[in-house]
């Protein structure tokens, strides 16, 4: 194990290892992936069937928080692999520093769905997310 993993808090280390082991599935389509970030909150994105949507949001799993999909029509959008954690690129990573979490979904059928993500702790299921991200997705 790398020293930076050992020095993180126990919960953070467990979450980082779990997230690091989840890699997105390789794309099978010839259409480019559509990447959206925080500034797309509340907007609409249009995809073609079989196109991949990647949502990249700031996250710090060492705090116990992570982005979770709270609502989406799975007949229109289907999860594409697990979440990917991207750490900041710097010569000496700061312990406990956050990064970005990327969640990918593949457009499976024509239609429209509102996708809602919440930034919360999985071990606090009855606590409302401290932040939400909403995106209307139209698939043609």
Are 98 and 60 contacting, i.e. CB atoms less than 8 angstroms apart? yes
Predicted local distance difference test score (pLDDT) of residue 96: 62
Return the closest-CA partner of residue 68 out of 76, 4, 99, 79: 79
Q: Which tens digits make up the pLDDT trace of 9-40?
A: 434 443 443 444 433 344 445 689 999 999 99
pTM equals 0.73
Any idea which residue has 């991200």 for tokens?
133
Q: Which tens digits make up the pLDDT trace of 90-138?
A: 655 666 667 899 999 999 999 999 999 999 998 999 999 999 999 999 9
Mean pLDDT, residues 58-84:
93
Predicted local distance difference test score (pLDDT) of residue 25: 42
CATH topology of domain 3-139: Immunoglobulin-like (2.60.40)
Predicted local distance difference test score (pLDDT) of residue 61: 84
């Amino acid at each position: 194990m790398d020293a930076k993993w050992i020095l993180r808090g126990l919960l953070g280390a467990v979450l980082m290892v779990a997230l690091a082991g989840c890699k997105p599935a390789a794309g099978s389509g010839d259409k480019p992936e559509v990447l959206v970030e925080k500034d797309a909150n509340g907007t609409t994105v249009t995809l073609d069937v079989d196109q991949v949507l990647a949502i990249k949001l700031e996250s710090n799993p060492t705090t116990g928080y992570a982005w979770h999909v709270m609502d989406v029509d799975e007949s229109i959008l289907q999860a594409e692999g697990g979440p990917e954690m991207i750490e900041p690129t710097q010569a000496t990573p700061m312990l406990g520093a956050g990064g970005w979490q990327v969640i990918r979904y593949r457009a499976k059928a024509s239609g429209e769905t509102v996708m809602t993500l919440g930034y919360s702790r999985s071990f606090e299921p009855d606590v409302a997310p401290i932040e939400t991200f909403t995106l209307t997705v139209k698939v043609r």
